[in-house]
Amino acid sequence: MSSQIPAQPASAKALLPLALFLALFLGTGIYFQSEGVEYAFYQLPSPVAILPAIALGILLSKQAFEERIATFVAGVGDSNIVTMCMIYLLAGAFSTVAEATGGVDAMVALGLGIIPASFLLPGLFIIAGVISTAMGTSMGTLAALAPVALGIGEATDISLPLLAGVLVSGAMFGDNLSIISDTTIAATRTQGCSMRDKFKANLKISIPAAIITLLWLVSYDTSNAPLNIPEANLWLCIPYFAIIVLAVMGLNVFAVLGLGIVLAAAFGMVAVDYQWVKFSQDIYDGFSSMQEIFLLSLLIGGLSGLIRQQGGLAFLAKAVEAVTSRLSKHKQRSSALGVAGLTSLTNLCVANNTVSILLAGEVSARLAKKGNLAARQSASLLDIFACVVQGVLPYGAQALLMGASFGISPLSVSIHTGYCFILGAVALVIIVWRKPLEDRIPEQTEAVT
């Protein structure tokens, strides 16, 4: 992201608004957790939690009041922020329309129809991964598959925490790769790279981790487990697969999502008598489903503008660089470790992978540029380590949802999310021990500083 308003020298004081936001968000979550409230860390909406931080950022500024507001508005209106928000709306519309026409049921039925009972746990991991990649949401995937997995668990002696952990693992695998996931959108826009390039960079780390996970899951004997396959029209899977193929081919994301919405509606009108009026309503419902992340992205853009102008982001970048340079003398490796560590720490605080990427994105872009790290690599590491931490957090939305659905402790769910632990380990091994990461490729990047 960029701003035409000159920044002040590096200053730790400028980070106080960010600290206030994290304190409010984390403190409220801890309080509600101690009170036994479900989804404790989601009781205070993040767009509301950031408002006092914005007010503090404006008060700390040394500019004239009108210039302070101009700085905030410039951050809100940054081209990367606005583009990201428009993609959120289209992704929400596609997800809602495809689900309304029966696409989710079709994806579940397709997956369950092709896996044998003896391959149940690896199969559930793959199904969750495919559905999450297609839908772009780990939460939507878990909501669709939880009843299926719970039925399997109740009819067999398979551990419910293990089943829940396998579903979360697969859902996070797909969410990390999906081109319509809000994490992918945030990572690519903040780092200035294409979704196709980020997707390819992710595969180099995610696939080895997935293979190790599958080998682990194969060791469990599930040959006696029953499979109840729901009835669905499998033709409704086509829009999901279409957007994956089009995205990998490099088609512009706006075109991909636009075509996906049209395809989902067209197949629905043919297969289930989907009506035009319902189509328009579902598009709007999809827009509404992205309201929180849409507003938060705009507000974080404005807050980042204030913090940047006051020298906070420069200070944070120098601090992270100083720490990681002690871990590795190679600039690219230390930059990669900085991106990974900053994202992980932020996600531990806010328990939301998309928010953590938005908060860490600009500093990560600065670290990547200074360390000559390719934008696709920094985007991939942002998304991967946000995925790792989110998947293993017992107070994350995924563990809370599966804990509530299965009637088990969220901690027992997070302990069994093997893929997330393996993904983190594989990513660190690749960062530390492989040959230096390839040079930054200017043609792939946009202005991000």
pLDDT at 385: 92
> What's the pLDDT at 328?
58
Is the confidence at residue 440, as pLDDT, over 60? Answer: no
In a domain, 443, yes or no: no
Q: pLDDT digit string (tens) for 131-169?
A: 888 777 787 777 767 767 776 776 667 788 899 999 999
Domain count, the chain: 2
Do both 332 and 283 map to the same domain?
no
Q: What is the pLDDT of residue 70?
A: 93
Q: Which of 77-91, 224-238, 359-373, 419-433 bottoms out in mean pLDDT, i.e. has the lowest?
A: 224-238
d(CA 445, CA 375): 6
Mean pLDDT of the chain: 80
Are 267 and 330 members of one domain? no
What's the domain range around 345? 308-431
Asked whether residue 321 falls in the same domain as residue 288, the answer is: no
Check residue 409 and report its DSSP letter.
-
Q: Do 234 and 146 belong to one domain?
A: yes
| Residue 227 backbone dihedrals phi, psi, to 5 degrees | -125, 120
Whether residue 444 has pLDDT greater than 60: no
Contact 402, 142 (CB under 8 A): yes
Residue of higher predicted confidence among 254 and 275: 275
Across 97-127, b (16+ Cβ under 10 Å) vs e yields: bbbbbbbbbbbbbbbbeebeeebbbbbbbbb
The 10s digit of each residue's pLDDT in 25-37 is: 778 878 887 888 8
State the first-to-last Cα distance of the chain, in angstroms, to the nearest integer: 5
**Are the C-beta atoms of residues 142 and 167 closer than 8 Å to each other?**
yes
CA dihedral 404, 406, 407, 412 (to 10 degrees): -90
- What's the pLDDT at 229? 64
Q: What is the pLDDT of residue 236?
A: 85
In terms of pLDDT, which residue wins out, 163 or 105?
163
Same domain, 262 and 189: yes
Say if 122 falls within a structural domain.
Answer: yes
Is the pTM of the predicted complex or chain greater than 0.75?
Answer: no
Question: Where do we find the tokens 């939460």?
Answer: 139
Residue 227 and residue 153 share a domain: yes
Which 8-state DSSP code applies to residue 320?
H
Tell me what pLDDT residue 154 has.
Answer: 67
* Reported confidence tier of residue 447, pLDDT bands at 50, 70, 90: very low
Alpha-carbon span 390 to 392, nearest angstrom: 6
Highest mean pLDDT pick, 50-54, 290-294, 323-327: 50-54
Q: What is the DSSP letter of 439?
A: B
Residue identified by tokens 């035009």 is 276
The more confident residue out of 355 and 247 is: 355
> What is the pLDDT, as a whole number, of residue 195?
83
Decide if pLDDT at 448 tops 50.
no
Return the minimum-mean-pLDDT range out of 105-109, 381-385, 386-390.
105-109
Domain assignment present for 251: yes
Model pLDDT for residues 183-210, shown as the tens digit of each residue:
888 889 888 888 888 888 889 899 999 9
Could you give the maximum distance between any two Cα atoms of the chain, in Å? 72
Tell me, yes or no, whether 254 lies in a domain. yes
pLDDT of residue 159: 83
Nearest to 332, CA basis, from 363, 367, 356, 298: 367
- Shared-domain flag, residues 108 and 181: yes
pLDDT in the model for residue 365: 87
Q: Which range is least confidently modeled, 102-106, 241-245, 359-363, 433-437?
A: 433-437
In a domain, 45, yes or no: no
Beta carbons of 208 and 423 less than 8 angstroms apart: no
Q: Is the pLDDT of residue 445 over 50?
A: no
Query: Does residue 286 sit in the same domain as residue 319?
Result: no
Model confidence pLDDT, tens digit, residues 223-255: 666 566 667 787 888 887 887 777 667 677 788
Report residue 1's pLDDT band, with 50, 70 and 90 as the boundaries. Answer: very low
Instruction: Quickly state the pLDDT bin for 2 (edges 50, 70, 90).
Output: very low
CA proximity to 266, closest of 137, 103, 141, 109:
103
For residues 273 and 382, membership in a common domain is answered with no
The more confident residue out of 383 and 153 is: 383
Does 256 reside within a domain?
yes
Domain shared by 405 and 280, yes or no: no
- Please tell me whether residues 345 and 211 are part of one structural domain: no
Q: Are 108 and 235 found together in one domain?
A: yes
The pLDDT of residue 435: 61
State residue 224's pLDDT score.
63
Would you say residue 50 lies in a domain? no
Q: How confident is the model at residue 437 (pLDDT cuts 50, 70, 90)?
A: very low
Q: List all residues 6 or more positions away from 317 whose beta carbon is below 8 Å from its beta carbon.
A: 363, 366, 367, 370
Reported as a single tens digit per residue, the pLDDT across 325-346 is 666 567 777 888 888 888 888 7
- Domain assignment present for residue 19? The answer is no
Coil, strand, or helix at residue 269?
Answer: helix
Pick from 266, 295, 324: which residue ends a domain? 295
More confident residue, 294 or 427: 427
